[in-house]
Amino acid sequence: MDNVLQVINASAVKYSGIIPADRYHEPYMSARELKNEIASGVLFYGYLDGGKLLGVMGIQDMQDVALIRHAYVAPNKQRSGIGTSLLEHLRKLTNKPILIGTWADAGWAISFYRKHGFDTVTPQEKEKLLRKYWNIPERQVETSVVLADEQRFKENR
């Protein structure tokens, strides 16, 4: 678990000065928060190279959708295909539509998911989805976006 926290917290430093200051803290995720996420059903998968954990990404089954949660790659290994490998693996684990919530100002994350076939939902749908499937503070709802995979868009058209 320490290795997972190490990857998450080293990667999340990138949020400093990007996301609202009232939502950023160090460490970004504590051991207690990680345990709570696991207890709530987030299954974490890791990318190992030479026995070293270089990336983590979680998936959470939520009613009629699956949520991609807590996607992080070690800072010195970003843009090397690790995030893509993890995302592709998690997509194979479910037949449900996949939703991803991220910070509205995390342009790099939004671009990554768009590159992989996800697109942002309308602001009205975002509010509805975040309140239905996530357990996050209202301030985070205000400052986040939701991306959905092509399957969800097809179902809702």
Q: What pLDDT, in 10s, does the model give residues 134-157? A: 999 999 999 999 999 976 666 654
Q: How many CB atoms lie within 10 A of CB 147?
A: 23
DSSP per residue over 93-150, as a string? T-SS-EEEEEETT-HHHHHHHHHTTEEEPPHHHHHHHHHHH----HHHHHTEEEEEEH
Q: What pLDDT, in 10s, does the model give residues 23-63? A: 999 999 999 999 999 999 999 999 999 999 999 999 999 99
Q: What pLDDT, in 10s, does the model give residues 105-134? A: 999 999 999 999 999 999 999 999 999 999
**Arch. (CATH architecture) of 2-156:** 3-Layer(aba) Sandwich (3.40)
User: Across the beta sheet with 43-49, what order do the strands follow?
Assistant: 43-49, 52-62, 65-73, 98-103, 144-149, 118-120
Q: How far apart are CA 125 and CA 3, in angstroms?
A: 35
